[in-house]
Each structure stands twice: as structure tokens, then as C-alpha cells.
Amino acid sequence: MDAPKVKIYGLVAEFTTPTQIVDAANQAREAGYTAMEAYTPFPVVDLHEAVGFKRTMLPTLAFFGGLTGFCTAFSLETFTSGGAPSFITPFLPDWFYYPLNIGGRPLNSWPAFIPPEFELTVLFASITSVVGMLLLNGYPRIYHPLFNVPRFSMVTSDRFFLCIEARDSKFDLQGTKQFLEGLQPYEVSEVPE
């Protein structure tokens, strides 16, 4: 193993059809590679499983986001309206207690509190989904080593790329290159870090 002059991020193979990229990812996984990722212009069904990714925790996050939204609205409305049970009320700060007595109607009018509760549940769950998706994916990240490969710009048009990263324990510049060539790609290129 001779150390290359430029640090290498990985090797990337270019394919022209979705079927090819799924087959290539399956073979790479079966060959024992773990640190790899397939890049496509549109979501390809089950490709994430082919590269060895199971499932995302996003729905769980969104559920708890929604729950937080509901609890926020519920406590905000109930506590400020003076609708909290009497063992809680003495502990509320002055600025968080504003009972409105209108015609003797109950302070804890929970049915009227439902619309804001619903809206905040939806709002918090949506924000969690979107922000969670971006952060789990590592975005925003404007620069990435892959952008050093000129042909990689076609990933947003009609080309499919499989990248085996140098941090993979099985990675070996020559051997991995030969392996990728064996998958009949359009081209294999090195990705400088």
C-alpha cells in the first residue's frame, strides 16, 4: 500500500440505469463493503436496503415532536386561562395566570382549546420531520468531496453513482477499483478528499 499524494475520499462508479445501480449495490454489500452510498437523481425503490441501511427513526421523532406540540398548547391554554387543577394553580407564576371570567363560564373550557392544540401538534410534528430529515442527512452541507468529480454533477440528471468510501476497512485502492470495474460501470473515478 503506497500512500497516494492526494488524500482519497473513495472510489465512485457511474451507472446509467436504476437496475444497474441496485445490482451493483447488492453485489458490493455481499462482497463485504459497508461504508458505501448510492447516489441517484430520484428515489430508487429499496436502494437504501441494498447499501445496507435499514430504516430511519424519523417517524418516531415526528411522533414525539407532535406530542410536544400538543402538550405545549394544552398547558399554555389551560394554565394561562386558570383552568389548571387547584393544586397546580398556586405554583404558577403571576405572569402565567390570566383567568377570564366571561358570564361565569368554566375556566377549564377544554373543548374550546382543541383547535390550537391540533394546530400546534401538526406544526411541531412537521418541523420535526423536516428539520430531523435535514439534520440526519447531514444537511446543510454545501461542499462535499464528491463534487470534485466532474461527472458527478450528472447525478441530478440521469446518472447513478455508487461510492465506496476509503474509511471502509475492506477498502484498497487497487482491489476496490478492480471490483468496481467488474460491475460493468460506465466509468470508475477516484474522489479526492
Q: Which parts of 117-146 interact with other proteins (CB under 8 A)?
A: 118-120, 122-123, 125-127, 129-130, 132-134, 136-137, 139-144, 146
Pick one of 11, 13, 25, 28: the residue that binds other proteins (CB under 8 A): 25
Judge residue 109's burial from the number of C-beta atoms within 10 Å of its C-beta, 0-12 exposed, 13-18 middle, 19 or more buried.
middle
Min CB(109)–other proteins separation in Å:
6
- For 49, 148, 182, the CA distances from 143, given in Å and listed in that order, are 26, 9, 30
Is residue 44 classed as helix, strand or coil in its secondary structure? coil
What the block records as the C-alpha cell of 67 is 406530542
When asked if residue 193 is in the footprint of other proteins (CB under 8 A), the reply is no
Stretch of 2-10, 148-156, 164-172, 176-184 contacting other proteins, by CB under 8 A: 148-156
Q: Rule CB under 8 A: which of 47-106 touch other proteins?
A: 47-51, 53, 55-56, 58-59, 62, 73, 76-77, 80-81, 94-96, 98, 100
Of 56, 12, 60, the C-alpha closest to 37 is 12
Min CB(3)–other proteins separation in Å:
27
Pick one of 8, 18, 168, 190: the residue that binds other proteins (CB under 8 A): 18
* Separation of alpha carbons 113 and 120, rounded Å: 11
Of 167, 149, 166, the C-alpha closest to 10 is 166
Give the total of residues touching other proteins (CB under 8 A).
73
